[in-house]
C-alpha cells in the first residue's frame, strides 16, 4: 500500500522515476495530463468541460481539476494505493485532495519532492533533441547521437522542440515556482515530505526514493 504524490519542476525526471515507483510498489501512475486526455477522448461530461477551457487556451479551474483527479482515485485499481503526478498543483488542490481522502477514510503516506537547480534544469531541457521521423529522444550532452543532428535509429533529422528553448524553459520553471512550490511548504508543515536530490543519477535517485518510502 503506497499513496504518494510526486513533485518536481519540469526536467527533474519525474516521468522516469514515476514508472519505476509504480512498478516496484504495484500502484497506478496517475498523471493528470493522461486523465484529461482520456476524459476528452471518451467525451465524458468532465472531459467536455475541461476541453472548453483548453480550447480557449485557458487553465482548467482548480475545482474541475480536483473533480477529475478524485474521480480517478475512486476506480478499483487505486484501492491499494496510487502515485499522483501533476496533481495537486496548488495548495488549494492539496487541501481538497486531503478532504477527499479523509472522507474516504484514507490519507497520503508520503510526498516525494525531486530537487534540481534551475541551471541544471535549463541544461537538461534545452539540450533535448527529438527525431522528426521516428520520435526518438536524445540529449546533446547526456545521450548524444553518433552523428550530430542525425537519428541513430532511422537517419531522420534531430530537432529541438519549440517548448525546449531557453526562454520557454525559463518561463515553465517560473510558472512551476509560482504555482507549485508553495505546496512544498504545505506538505513540509504536514510532515510527510521527502526532499530528494534529483541530480545524483537515475539509479541513485530511485534508491533514495525507496529509502524515503521505507519499504
Give the residues of the chain that fall short of pLDDT 50: none
Does residue 154 form part of some domain? no
**3-class secondary-structure state, position 111:** strand
How many CA atoms does the CB half-sphere of 202 hold within 13 Å?
11
Does residue 104 form part of some domain? yes
> Which residue range forms the structural domain that includes residue 69?
2-117+170-209
Known catalytic residue: 123? no
Q: What is the pTM of this model?
A: 0.84
Q: What is the DSSP letter of 156?
A: P
Q: Would you state the pLDDT for residue 215?
A: 63
Known catalytic residue: 37? no
How many CA atoms does the CB half-sphere of 76 hold within 13 Å?
0
Looking at the 3D structure of the chain, how many domains does it have?
Answer: 1
Known catalytic residue: 161? yes
Query: Which of 29, 93, 30, 85 has its CA nearest to residue 59?
Result: 93
Does residue 136 form part of some domain? no
pLDDT digits (tens, 9 = 90+) for 78-116: 999 999 998 999 999 999 999 999 999 999 999 999 999
Does residue 193 form part of some domain? yes
Known catalytic residue: 14? yes
Q: Among residues 3, 14, 96, 123, which one is catalytic? A: 14
Does residue 42 form part of some domain? yes
pLDDT digits (tens, 9 = 90+) for 70-81: 999 999 999 999
What are the residues whose beta carbons fall under 8 Å from the beta carbon of 113, sequence distance 6 or more?
A: 7, 8, 184, 187, 193, 194, 195, 196
Does residue 192 form part of some domain? yes
Does residue 153 form part of some domain? no
Alpha carbon separation from 173 to 25, 68, 162, 214 (Å, rounded): 30, 25, 15, 30
Q: Would you state the pLDDT for residue 57?
A: 76
Contact 112, 209 (CB under 8 A): yes
The Cβ of residue 52 has, within 10 Å, a number of other Cβ atoms equal to: 12
Q: Among residues 3, 72, 128, 129, which one is catalytic? A: 128
Q: Among residues 3, 72, 89, 123, which one is catalytic? A: 89
The Cβ of residue 175 has, within 10 Å, a number of other Cβ atoms equal to: 13
Does residue 131 form part of some domain? no
The CATH number that applies at residue 69 is 3.40.50.300
Amino acid at each position: 500500500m503506497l499513496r504518494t504524490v510526486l513533485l518536481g519542476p519540469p526536467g527533474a525526471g519525474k516521468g522516469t522515476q514515476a514508472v519505476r515507483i509504480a512498478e516496484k510498489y504495484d500502484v497506478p501512475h496517475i498523471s493528470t495530463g493522461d486523465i484529461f486526455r482520456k476524459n476528452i477522448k471518451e467525451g465524458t461530461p468532465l472531459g467536455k468541460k475541461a476541453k472548453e477551457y483548453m480550447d480557449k487556451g485557458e487553465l482548467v479551474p482548480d475545482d474541475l481539476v480536483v473533480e477529475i483527479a478524485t474521480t480517478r482515485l475512486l476506480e478499483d485499481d487505486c484501492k491499494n494505493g496510487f502515485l499522483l503526478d501533476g496533481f495537486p498543483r496548488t495548495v488549494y488542490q492539496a487541501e481538497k485532495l486531503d478532504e477527499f481522502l479523509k472522507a474516504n477514510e484514507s490519507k497520503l503516506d508520503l510526498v516525494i519532492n525531486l530537487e534540481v537547480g534551475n541551471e541544471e534544469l535549463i541544461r537538461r531541457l534545452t539540450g533535448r533533441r527529438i527525431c522528426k521521423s521516428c520520435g526518438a529522444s536524445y540529449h546533446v550532452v547526456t545521450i548524444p547521437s553518433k552523428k550530430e543532428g542525425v537519428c541513430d535509429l532511422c537517419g531522420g533529422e534531430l530537432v529541438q522542440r519549440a517548448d525546449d528553448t531557453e526562454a520557454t524553459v525559463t518561463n515553465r520553471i517560473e510558472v512551476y515556482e509560482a504555482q507549485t512550490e508553495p505546496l512544498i511548504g504545505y506538505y513540509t508543515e504536514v510532515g510527510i515530505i521527502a526532499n530528494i536530490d534529483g541530480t545524483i543519477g537515475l539509479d541513485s535517485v530511485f534508491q533514495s526514493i525507496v529509502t524515503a518510502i521505507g519499504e
